[in-house]
Amino acid sequence: MALDPSSVGAKGEPTRSSYTSKDALLYAVGVGAGTSELPFTTENTKDTPQRVLPTMAVILGGGGVPLGKAGEFNPALMVHGTEGIELYREIPAEAELESVGEITGIWDKGKAGVIEMASTATLVETGEKLFKVKMSLFCRGAGDFGGERGPKPTFELPDRAADHQVTYATREDQALTYRLSGDRNPLHSDPSFAAIGGFDRPILHGLCTYGFTGRALLHSLCDSDPSRFKSMDGRFSKPVMPGDVLTVSMWVDGNNALFQTKNQDGDIVLDQGECTFA
């Protein structure tokens, strides 16, 4: 069982999907937004037009990737490695999208292989590019195929205190809300399935942690204005349990920021974070 590096560059067929105002509201609540963030959690508040959290791109995009061409791997041994978004304009409250995905990298990590992919979404009504979603999957047992190991990360935090720090508490039932946005993997809801994966209870979706982190970046760096949020990249480094408290630390340099998210025990759960903003 191994990945196929010759699949790099393979593109999938365009796929179409649509979402509504209600979907955007549900996503916002799923990543912890509440009564202090009414532009994202309501659609009928006086003088408050509905807006969309930038990180919702991760559930709207990602379609059309020809994952079946990447080689052989066991989905049960696959974990989410990295996630990134690039936004070309603010995400509207509802729209129909067309996405085209591509395999952008296959790396041999020895006992594991890594699949990198990207998907670009456009607005069907106008043909305008909306955002790109980038991600990597770490596939245990699918390495040792003689491929390249891939580039080494060069991430290094400044030797000074963070410029901004935001702490959010997740709820014990956070995963049960977030899963309603589309990811029904029982790892996040079924205790017996979580036990098979070696966890004593269901874990939080990595992309939910990503969404909590994105909220902190949006409010701290962009004055809560989604039109100023341009990109966000990070690497998942440790599972988060529902009920954990997340602290996002940010180091700003002009229109760029490095960030890192830790849990209440000081463990890094989202690492190598980079964000750009206007």
- pLDDT tens track for 194-241: 998 889 999 999 999 999 999 999 999 999 999 999 999 999 999 999
For tokens 């969309």, what's the residue?
Answer: 52
The pLDDT of residue 62: 73
Q: Any catalytic annotation for residue 206? A: yes
pLDDT tops 80 at residue 76: no
Same fold, 5-140 and 164-277: yes
Which entry of 188, 211, 214, 244 is annotated as an active-site residue? 188
For residue 39, give both structure tokens: 């532009």
- pTM (two decimals): 0.96
For tokens 């974990």, what's the residue?
Answer: 79
- For 144: left if phi > 0, alpha if psi spans -120 to 50, otherwise beta; the answer is left
Which entry of 4, 23, 108, 183 is annotated as an active-site residue? 183
Mean pLDDT of the chain: 96
Q: Any catalytic annotation for residue 163? A: no
For residue 142, give both structure tokens: 């699918």
Domain extent listing, the chain: 5-140, 164-277
Residue 214's nearest CA partner among 33, 84, 55 is 55
Residue 266's nearest CA partner among 244, 250, 251 is 244
Task: Note the CATH number of domain 164-277.
Answer: 3.10.129.10
Residue 59's nearest CA partner among 181, 187, 236 is 181
Which entry of 62, 71, 84, 206 is annotated as an active-site residue? 206
pLDDT tops 90 at residue 255: yes
The pLDDT of residue 25: 98
pLDDT tops 80 at residue 1: no
Which entry of 147, 203, 234, 271 is annotated as an active-site residue? 203
Q: Any catalytic annotation for residue 80? A: no
Question: Does domain 5-140 correspond to CATH entry 3.30.390.10?
Answer: no
